[in-house]
Structure 1
Amino acid sequence: MSVSAPRRGDVAQERDESAAEGWFQRNRVLVNLVAMLFVLVVVGIAISRLTEEVRYDEIVEAWTGTSWWTLGLAALLTLASFLALTFYDFGALAYIGHRLPFPAVAVTAFCAYAVGNTAGFGPLSGGAIRYRAYSRMGLAPEEIAKVIAFVTLAFGLGLAGVGALALLFIADQVAPLIRVEAPLLRLIGFAILALLVGLPFAGRIGGESRFGRLSRFALRLPKPRAVGLQFVVTALDVAASAGVLYVLLPPTEIGYPAFLAVYAVAVALGVLSHVPAGLGVFETVIIAALGQRIEVDQVLGALVLYRIVYHLVPLVLATLCVSVIELQHAATTPLGRSIRSAGGRISPLLLATLSFTLGAMLIFSSVTPTPDDTLQYLASFMPLPVVEGAHFIVSLIGLLMLVVSRGLAQRLDGAWWAALVAAGAALLLSIVKAVALFEAAFLIFFVFTLFATRREFTRSASLLRQALTPSWLLAIATIVIGAIVVLFFVYRDVDYSNRLWWEFEFSSEAPRSLRATLGVTILAICVAVWSLLRPAVARPVPPTAQSLDHAVAIVEAQDSADGNLVRMGDKNILASPDGRGFIMYAKQNRSFVALFDPVGPRDCWQELIWRFIEMARTEGCRAVFYQVSPEGLSFYADAGLQAYKLGELAIVDLADFHLTGGKRANLRQSVTRGARDGLVFEYVPPEGTAAIMDELEGVSDAWLDHHNTREKGFSLGGFDRAYIASQPVALLRVEERIVAFANVLVTGTKREGSIDLMRFSPDAPKGAMDFLFIKLIEHLKAEGFETFNLGMAPLSGMSERQIAPIWNRVGRTVFEHGERFYNFRGLRAFKAKFHPSWQPRYIAVSGGINPVLALMDATFLIGGGLKGVLTK
């Protein structure tokens, strides 16, 4: 049998395909952004075509003619919808076994949905609010992640169930609206309901449900009763929210059940589109479905009012609620403190969303005409250049508030000042340009909330240094494209000519709006280009000798002994602006992986964490914090990351360490056995390691050969002469020959001691490492150290409860049954000999599939790539 060589054409084709794949990977962020912009443009064109026969004046007349009674009913239905939404959180908390105060949960849930409904990306924006608030109420990170997953899944499944149920009964009425045959609609509805009804009964009802016999993992599903309750909650929510829009529409022969099905489809498509708040997508579906039965101008007028009543008003109320909480410094009861704590954590996100909404309002108001009577009033005392200038500048301020909103979400003090100045200027100019009392009222409220929450904006980072991420650019593009669509819709009867750009009269509304739109578009393009093409905050570069020396000086002045791993020089260093702290990290695939919490004073952690996340995102990568402590979880939560448990760190309190008592009989036996075998302990300071370096290297090489392994990296040190010589070494001798050693990690504060490398000769006496640990702990205790860090036991301490998150369940299964791959249980048992206290350690990363990918990248960093992991 012969094997033919690949043809030249095939090789060239493979090379081209590889190059194309590589180009896509390098530019995937830009490609995704362009794709979403294309969707927005298509939606804009669709809306324009669906509204070809509609005029702006007709829409204004339609929604201004809505009675106050109708608006009041819509407000009541909005209240009912949000009240139902809060029960998602109560159901999720009950599911994980927590009962929290009703006011605190209600405030958190209301604010989460107010932001999620308005800003879009509900699981992210609303989830971030829940994470920040519930973490202050005592929930563990994995429990909060389960709450977020529960409410997201419950809403999605409930929405599908409500829509499917409606289709079974009213398919004949819905079919003409969406141009699909009624039998097919009923079949789709029945299939969805069958799937939803069967899901809770999979496996053992209400217990652990196994998906197939081939799977060893179990996922606990809610009991049918709980699923039924959540369906009722969703039905009430969707019915009430659909009722808001239905009562705002004029009377029609379309029944409420048929409209409910159309509404559910429109909401679902808006969510799936990933366009912020489903803007444009939701409206397109509603217009396409109802435009044949109701006048399109009346549908558009109702949609505008719907956005105000169901989105803007709840957002304002949520912001007002948090502002009042922030102003109540006298809240001293436990309940008051919990509510105030929750309010403080979520206020930046609320203000960011409100800033974005007000910015959009200013831009849209700049492309819509001012009422004639208002223009006549302004002409009587206001010079035309002032009105023209105010109109143009307000549109640019609107875009500025969109950009500033990201800084508010990141708690930047510069963003707070920029928002205050922008809102103040917009307040004055909105009166000058159009006596816009409605806009002025919202801007005054915004300024009030800024003052009420001033203390939450403590980061001193530069606002100009922040690069907008693709999701923020998409949100801004949504507003700008929407403004362009509105401009062409409002002035569709105005014939375009070059003269329009140079017409300056009080009655020339089209030229004024055209100039404002051009200014906003040009400025938005500049912002986008700046964000996409500007250099990263700090690109990964190998550490210089000077930066390493500075990092070592920081390590010496703080308590964490693990910070000494920076001495290996194999990790990049991101220093804080004031030079008092740093993050050590490495890049693997699409992950920027930071090792441990920031090293340095705690007051510089927040800024370092934000800078690291911004650097990673600017490079189109995910930010990962590996092996972080509970003390830093609030900072990671504030930055929008979620924490997933990795294992537990063993800490020995040296003040309580002794060898007396029955519990420590095995330790005494280890000491006795070691002495009988001739083991002699020696603690060698850094200056004494040069004389024994060759012998230490021989022990290390023998250990590597005996275990058929290679040096690790990142979170573990390797045998590097400079690294070993930088810290003390604890060793064991037998007849003057070194048989085991460990390099000791210490800092100048003597708060904590630890070890990194543990190497011993194949012929070392059995139990030598136990003897070494005991003698080292006794030595450090005598030297005045407070604690001894035994290192982390991976995957230990994972919850065994049935309601534990799937991450914990999988981790627990691997811990129990993964001995053939790694000695998880043995490592935990070894550390337990010394009776330590166990402290949880986490990996902090954004949600979705990112935790799994991040953990894989961290594993590759430690093992030296895929080959290193597979070959030990």
Structure 2
Amino acid sequence: MNRVIGLFLDSLPGTSQGNERRVEQEKVEQVPRTDDALNPPSQRAVLLRRVAGPLLSVGLLVLALWGLRQFARHVTYHEIREYVASVSRARLLLAIVLTTLGFGVMSLYDRFGLKSIGRSLPWRRVTLISFISYAFSNAVGMSFLVSGSIRYRFYLQNGLSTTEIAKLVLYCTLSFWLGLLALTGVTLLVEPLPALVQVGEWQLHMGYWRIPLAVALAAVPLAWVLGGFIRKPIRLWRWRVLLPRPLSALRQVLVGALDWWLAAAAMYVLMPDSLHASFGHFLAIFVIAQIAGLISHVPGGLGVFETMLLACFHATNDKHLTAPIIGALAMFRVVYYLMPLCAATMLVLQREARGFRKQSLWSPWFSGLLPSFFAGLTLVSGAVLLFSGATRALPERMDILRDVLPLSVLEVSHFMASVIGMLLLILARGLQRRLDVAYWATLVLLVVGAVFSLLKGIDYEEASLLALLAMALAPAHRLFYRRASLFSTSFSLGWIVAILAVFGCATWLVMFSYKHVEYSNSLWWEFSFYQGGASRALRSLVGAAAAGLLFALAALIKPQRLRRAPPSETELERALPLIRHFHSAQAHLALMGDKRLMFDADGKAFLMYDTEGRSWVTMGDPVGEDEDARRELVWSFLEQCERAGGWPVFYQVSPDDLDMYLEVGMNLLKIGEEARVRLEDFNLDGKSKKTLRGTINKLGRDGLRLEIVRADEVAPLLPRLKEISDAWLADKNAREKRFSLGAFDPRYLVRTPMALVWQGEQIVAFANLFLTETKEEASLDLMRFVPEGPSGIMDYLFVELMQWAKREGYRWFNLGMAPLAGLTSRRQAPLWNRFGALVFGRGERFYNFQGLQRYKDKFDPEWEPRYMAVPGGIALPMILANVASLISGGLTGVVRR
């Protein structure tokens, strides 16, 4: 579940209109340390880090469920329900009031955090943002990631910069933990813990370490407050931190402590009177159990919190105490976690409904957030159906059904509801991947599931949940535009773990709810309104498992199309019309034949890519005029990389298409700027062009002339051009590049027109041309000249080509990219930008960065940024090395010219 929500919240907002500048200036990237780049982690270490977190959470969940089984082995489901029914409405209302006050206190985190960074927003807006972020983070765990991501999206809309949001999230997280540590430490100093905690045969002596633990925990917030008297920055590892003033620090601690105190009070009023524990004693156990749940990273501390609480209250063999405590825990989960989550969900959906009705309220970031948001709710809905099928129906509702429904309808409805629950868990992944088929299937199953929920036990609560989600999903069809098959969708380890965890919890519920029923083979074939609950639960569980296994089998036997061979002549001919009609002349690099081609299902677009190590690198944006086909290619390429265990990388992409990569959760690195000359404004007039004008006039008097040769006339010229190319490479002591540049390959050169510079009867320079049939852009790729040729021959070639293209009606002439140009080294700039600016300014001994930019600048181009879209995480050092190796033709080419 954590991984699912992580994926949901990692989908960043798209860029449109004014958002491009924000992506460039505010996207914070992490650059690895030098020693990490020189000694990258092994693939085994990377894999271990990827799977360790989810597997640890699942392991702790399994351990917690085992602990709950130990405590509840003498407790029946009926006893728990009986206690829940006995809780008075006054106590339940008091718990709701305390929960409401608790969320009100949580809003102080944001209000004081905004004050600390010198910003102010209306208190209603701040309260709403705080409520939504904490409602989700409390329920799904990983508070820093979940609440931080939600705050990022909301506060970005309200004018805060990325740096300000990061400071605010850090302030709230620190307040959260400082308050918990302070309350825990002080409470443990005052109230003793049980001397011995026992779970089955496992024992823990807590009396020995209570005081040392209390002192250690209380020392942290105390040091934070006292550190405010030191008005100089304190160095913590690689950071310099200026602690807040004592009054501000004390306010952080008090707000956090009050938040946790109210949470404990909300649960305390639901606890049974037979507990015979003072609030102070209960508070000590509550905060210890909460810390254990937070450390486990299990969503909401589910199972871990309950096990710790039962263990500390010595409820192992006392079913008269265990059943009421479990009932109180269930009610606390509903009041403190589920009800706020439902309320926050309705607020978000209401906000989104306004956006559908009024386009001006629609924000780009929300279009990226909603598919994953719906995926998370669909996952929850599937879990609700599975859990409902694993537990008993209410007897009074069964009495009603007995009088109006045949038994066969009840049995089929119960079975199908659980099967639909498993299918919703699977379809959630398709929604997150924006699949059209997943949208329609989910919409139908939600409606059918709501009907079955009513028929199997008049479960109107879960039917309402499914119906509300269906109504919210119905108008959002345009967000799910992909036509790919659900069976071709890859399921990450996090998704698989989430589905298995939900199914495992449902299995545990079946065993707990019907543990008093003695198992026999005949149990599978018993059908009854009153005595058939166990049979229905078993059959439903097997049906859900069968649905999941059948889907997995269908996905496994589906043939995988992982083509990694170089393109054939047929494929190049298929790509040629798309290349010629594309707005960017860079698409002609596909004709080099050194990159694999990946087409969409209808052949309306393609992308070119190559692999180096684990990096699968595309060259430029998908090529084609059909926007839907281009977007689908990005998703398909991402899924292909996931199946192959590779890292997807989109190299040298343009600002116009950044939303396609942000939509799939990629991070952006600005890698330079591309120079494009607007041809209608190009001329050699003016004082600034005096030197260039003189060079061109001189070379014209020396007999230089330009000739444009059609592609079908290039082949006879290749032997003469080969001599020029070899001489140029030898003079420059260089080697052929590849991937982002062309090489002298006859098969490649005969596919494009050629520009020749003659001096008398001798060819002194040549360049192959990239020309679009739409006349949008012209460019050149491979440019070579004789070493003994006249000075200024490159200037002559560029100017003559631009004047020719202008006469032919082309709009732009592309001069190519200046690597690392346009990156700033300001203090507030992202770390990657500062690193790139440093290399650009001081890396002349390795590459002529500034010289290349200055040379192109004399043609008065318009500079347009170019980006590289990469996955987040620790793979960045290896990706950068792989891309450099790919372009340079191998590792030796990285250090050679």
TM-score by length of 1: 0.84
For residue 414 of structure 1, the aligned residue among 437, 461, 477 is 437
- For residues 8-60 of structure 1, the C-alpha deviation after alignment (integer angstroms, 9 at most, x for no partner) is xxxxxxxxxxxxx9899999988987776555433432332243343322332
SS in 2 for 1:453: helix
Matches within 5 A, 1:148-297: 157-172=174-189, 173=191, 176=194, 179=206, 181-186=209-214, 188-189=216-217, 205=233, 224=244, 244-245=266-267, 248-250=270-272, 252-255=277-280, 258=284, 261-262=287-288, 264-271=290-297, 275-276=298-299, 278-289=301-312, 295-297=321-323
Offset at residue 750 of structure 1 (A): 1.2
The answer on whether the counterparts of 2:756 and 2:763 sit within 8 Å (CA) in structure 1 is yes
Q: Which amino acid aligns with 2:456?
A: K
The answer on whether the counterparts of 2:135 and 2:344 sit within 8 Å (CA) in structure 1 is yes
Which stretch of structure 1 is more off in the superposition, 315-324 or 231-240? 231-240
Structure 2 Cα separation of the partners of residues 80 and 670 of structure 1: 78
Are 1:689 and 2:714 counterparts? yes
Q: Which amino acid aligns with 1:864?
A: G
SS in 2 for 1:651: strand
Q: Which amino acid aligns with 2:741?
A: L
> Cα–Cα, structure 1 residues 870 and 300, in superposed 2: closer, same or farther, change >3 Å?
farther
> Cα–Cα, structure 1 residues 695 and 373, in superposed 2: closer, same or farther, change >3 Å?
same
Are 1:784 and 2:809 counterparts? yes
For residue 592 of structure 1, the aligned residue among 600, 608, 616 is 616
Q: Which amino acid aligns with 1:614?
A: E
Structure 1 Cα separation of the partners of residues 228 and 879 of structure 2: 31
Match of 2:667 in 1: 642
The answer on whether the counterparts of 2:144 and 2:173 sit within 8 Å (CA) in structure 1 is no
Matches within 5 A, 1:156-555: 157-172=174-189, 173=191, 176=194, 179=206, 181-186=209-214, 188-189=216-217, 205=233, 224=244, 244-245=266-267, 248-250=270-272, 252-255=277-280, 258=284, 261-262=287-288, 264-271=290-297, 275-276=298-299, 278-289=301-312, 295-328=321-354, 337-338=360-361, 343-506=366-529, 507-531=531-555, 534-536=558-560, 538-555=562-579
- For residues 351-379 of structure 1, the C-alpha deviation after alignment (integer angstroms, 9 at most, x for no partner) is 22111111101100111111222223322
Q: Which amino acid aligns with 1:593?
A: V
Which stretch of structure 1 is more off in the superposition, 494-503 or 193-202? 193-202
Offset at residue 566 of structure 1 (A): 0.8
Structure 1 Cα separation of the partners of residues 231 and 589 of structure 2: 48
The answer on whether the counterparts of 2:184 and 2:288 sit within 8 Å (CA) in structure 1 is no
Q: Which amino acid aligns with 2:533?
A: E
> Cα–Cα, structure 1 residues 855 and 380, in superposed 2: closer, same or farther, change >3 Å?
same
Matches within 5 A, 1:55-94: 55-75=76-96
Q: Which amino acid aligns with 2:326?
A: L
Offset at residue 241 of structure 1 (A): 5.3
The answer on whether the counterparts of 2:268 and 2:279 sit within 8 Å (CA) in structure 1 is no
Structure 1 Cα separation of the partners of residues 580 and 802 of structure 2: 20
The answer on whether the counterparts of 1:200 and 1:221 sit within 8 Å (CA) in structure 2 is no
The answer on whether the counterparts of 1:542 and 1:571 sit within 8 Å (CA) in structure 2 is yes
Q: Which amino acid aligns with 1:185?
A: L
Match of 2:592 in 1: 568
The answer on whether the counterparts of 1:115 and 1:350 sit within 8 Å (CA) in structure 2 is no
- For residues 140-179 of structure 1, the C-alpha deviation after alignment (integer angstroms, 9 at most, x for no partner) is xxx76x6786676556555443343345423444764783
Which stretch of structure 1 is more off in the superposition, 251-260 or 103-112? 103-112
Match of 1:868 in 2: 893
> Cα–Cα, structure 1 residues 197 and 24, in superposed 2: closer, same or farther, change >3 Å?
same
Match of 1:5 in 2: none
Which stretch of structure 1 is more off in the superposition, 174-183 or 47-56? 174-183
Offset at residue 382 of structure 1 (A): 2.0
Match of 1:810 in 2: 835
- For residues 740-780 of structure 1, the C-alpha deviation after alignment (integer angstroms, 9 at most, x for no partner) is 33322221111012222233343344443233222222221
SS in 2 for 1:328: helix
> Cα–Cα, structure 1 residues 279 and 202, in superposed 2: closer, same or farther, change >3 Å?
farther
The answer on whether the counterparts of 2:186 and 2:218 sit within 8 Å (CA) in structure 1 is no
> Cα–Cα, structure 1 residues 533 and 35, in superposed 2: closer, same or farther, change >3 Å?
farther
- For residues 52-96 of structure 1, the C-alpha deviation after alignment (integer angstroms, 9 at most, x for no partner) is 343322332343444445544554555566667678788999999
Match of 2:607 in 1: 583
SS in 2 for 1:796: coil
SS in 2 for 1:748: coil
Offset at residue 580 of structure 1 (A): 0.8
Structure 1 Cα separation of the partners of residues 771 and 123 of structure 2: 47
> Cα–Cα, structure 1 residues 613 and 861, in superposed 2: closer, same or farther, change >3 Å?
same
> Cα–Cα, structure 1 residues 606 and 138, in superposed 2: closer, same or farther, change >3 Å?
farther
Offset at residue 412 of structure 1 (A): 2.4
The answer on whether the counterparts of 1:537 and 1:614 sit within 8 Å (CA) in structure 2 is no
Structure 2 Cα separation of the partners of residues 104 and 764 of structure 1: 69
SS in 2 for 1:744: strand
Offset at residue 306 of structure 1 (A): 3.7
Structure 1 Cα separation of the partners of residues 686 and 677 of structure 2: 17
Match of 2:66 in 1: 45
Match of 1:747 in 2: 772
Q: Which amino acid aligns with 1:838?
A: W
Q: Which amino acid aligns with 1:269?
A: I
The RMSD of aligned alpha carbons is 4.1
Structure 2 Cα separation of the partners of residues 99 and 724 of structure 1: 61
Q: Which amino acid aligns with 1:457?
A: F
> Cα–Cα, structure 1 residues 150 and 401, in superposed 2: closer, same or farther, change >3 Å?
farther
Structure 2 Cα separation of the partners of residues 813 and 848 of structure 1: 23
> Cα–Cα, structure 1 residues 611 and 70, in superposed 2: closer, same or farther, change >3 Å?
farther
Q: Which amino acid aligns with 2:523?
A: L
The answer on whether the counterparts of 1:368 and 1:490 sit within 8 Å (CA) in structure 2 is yes
Structure 1 Cα separation of the partners of residues 415 and 467 of structure 2: 21
SS in 1 for 2:343: helix
Q: Which has the higher contact order (CA 8 A, sep 6+)?
A: 2
> Cα–Cα, structure 1 residues 804 and 95, in superposed 2: closer, same or farther, change >3 Å?
farther
Structure 2 Cα separation of the partners of residues 86 and 867 of structure 1: 56
Aligned residues between the structures: 834
Q: Which amino acid aligns with 2:84?
A: W
Q: Which amino acid aligns with 1:615?
A: Q
Offset at residue 205 of structure 1 (A): 3.8
The answer on whether the counterparts of 1:245 and 1:302 sit within 8 Å (CA) in structure 2 is yes
The answer on whether the counterparts of 2:182 and 2:253 sit within 8 Å (CA) in structure 1 is no
Which stretch of structure 1 is more off in the superposition, 323-332 or 694-703? 323-332
The answer on whether the counterparts of 1:242 and 1:263 sit within 8 Å (CA) in structure 2 is no
Q: Which amino acid aligns with 1:868?
A: G
The answer on whether the counterparts of 1:80 and 1:240 sit within 8 Å (CA) in structure 2 is yes
Q: Which amino acid aligns with 1:409?
A: Q
Which stretch of structure 1 is more off in the superposition, 463-472 or 547-556? 463-472
Which stretch of structure 1 is more off in the superposition, 322-331 or 715-724? 322-331
> Cα–Cα, structure 1 residues 53 and 749, in superposed 2: closer, same or farther, change >3 Å?
same
Structure 2 Cα separation of the partners of residues 816 and 719 of structure 1: 32
For residue 557 of structure 1, the aligned residue among 558, 572, 581 is 581
Q: Which amino acid aligns with 1:571?
A: K
Q: Which amino acid aligns with 1:479?
A: V
Q: Which amino acid aligns with 1:454?
A: H
Are 1:841 and 2:866 counterparts? yes
Which stretch of structure 1 is more off in the superposition, 578-587 or 61-70? 61-70
> Cα–Cα, structure 1 residues 530 and 25, in superposed 2: closer, same or farther, change >3 Å?
farther
> Cα–Cα, structure 1 residues 647 and 23, in superposed 2: closer, same or farther, change >3 Å?
closer
